[in-house]
Structure 1
Amino acid sequence: MRPSEERYEVDQGAAPLEMLIALFEARGWPCESTQTEMSGEIQGSWTKYQLRGIWRPDDMVLQILCLPDIRISKDKMASAHELVSLVNEQMWLGHFDIWSNGGVLLYRNGTMLGDDGLLSLGQAQALVEIAVDECDRFYPAFQFILWGGRTPEEALEDAMVDAAGEA
């Protein structure tokens, strides 16, 4: 048995928000919570992200929102919506959206938990890492639309270029 397995053998899961809060505290990330929501901040590769976990016990659904602090101006809204559509075609889990109230860009992923409503440490880590990774992966594309004057297709293509070699 590996040390990490031994350490969490007894704790197979916890209430979703409690597990997210424990993860944030263990990593030294600031967070706060209410009975149905937790909110914290994580430093990504490009910017700080606000991450929210919203628990709906009636449905046994945990929703993860990750907000990269990008607001879409009205003059860029059509291009941004087109880019969101192109980006979402590239994703397996979750999706990006633009809130109609304020033009805020966000990543959203809903997870149905089992009848016990528990979230494991592994699940919590994966949900948070996926949210941050996807925001990091597509952050440049949205910046190319907002500040670089690129078309949605150009912005996505430029953002998806993998760097070759090492710096």
Structure 2
Amino acid sequence: MVEVHSPVGNPIDLVEEIVVSNDWAHDRASEEELVVEISGRWCDYRMYFLWQEELSALHFSCGFDMKVPKRRRGVLYELLALANERLWLGHFDLAAGDASPSFRYAVLLRGIGMASAEQVEDLVDIA
């Protein structure tokens, strides 16, 4: 018999453990949401981890702290489309409001009980 629903533990707790072990600035906005800020070589990164219990999905978004001028957005849309064609997981997009690029990805965890540390680390590495 197929089990219709198996509960999954909140993976945000595991994400927070990894973030703390890396000494990254973060804010646990709620039980289901964690925001992490990291300074990179070219810009700052803001990572959002959001747990959607109803879907057993962990959503990850990594925003790049840069604004794209209007005159360059067309070129960037083309570049992102080319990059997205080659990606197996996730996608890049450009926010309509503030024209900042980001990477998004979601992991479905139904049926596995809990995310592993390796899965969470892979989320960050993919971006």
Using the size of structure 2 for normalisation, the TM-score is 0.84
Is 1:70 the counterpart of 2:28? The answer is no
Letter in structure 2 aligned against 1:90: R
The 1:29/1:110 distance shift into structure 2, 3 A limit, reads same
Distance in 2, matches of 1:74 and 1:56, equals 34
1:128 matched to 2:124:
yes
Q: Contact conserved, 2:50 with 2:59, CA < 8 A, in 1?
A: yes
The structure with higher relative contact order (CA 8 Å, sep 6+) is 2
Structure 1 unaligned residues grouped into runs of 5+: 1-12, 132-167
Tell me how far 1:117 sits from its aligned partner. Answer: 5.2
Query: Are 2:24 and 2:37, in contact at CA under 8 Å, matched by a contact in 1?
Result: yes
Q: Which of the two has higher C-alpha Rg?
A: 1
- Which residue of the other structure, out of 38, 43, 49, is the alignment partner of 2:45? 49
- Structure 2 unaligned segments of length 5 or more: list them: 1-7
CA distance in 2, matches of 1:117, 1:96: 29
CA RMSD in angstroms comes to 1.8
CA displacement, residues 66-114 of structure 1 (integer Å, 9 cap, x when unaligned): 1111222222121111111011122121110011111111000111112
Which structure has more helix as a fraction of its residues? 1
TM-score by length of 1: 0.65
Q: Does residue 58 of structure 1 match 2:54?
A: yes
Residue type at the aligned position of 2:21? A
- List aligned pairs for 1:1-167, cutoff 5 A: 15-33=10-28, 34-115=30-111, 118-131=114-127
User: 1:14 Cα deviation (Å)?
Assistant: 5.3
| Equivalent residues, number | 119
1-structure distance, mates of 2:55, 2:10:
14
Which amino acid counterpart does residue 65 of structure 1 have in structure 2?
S
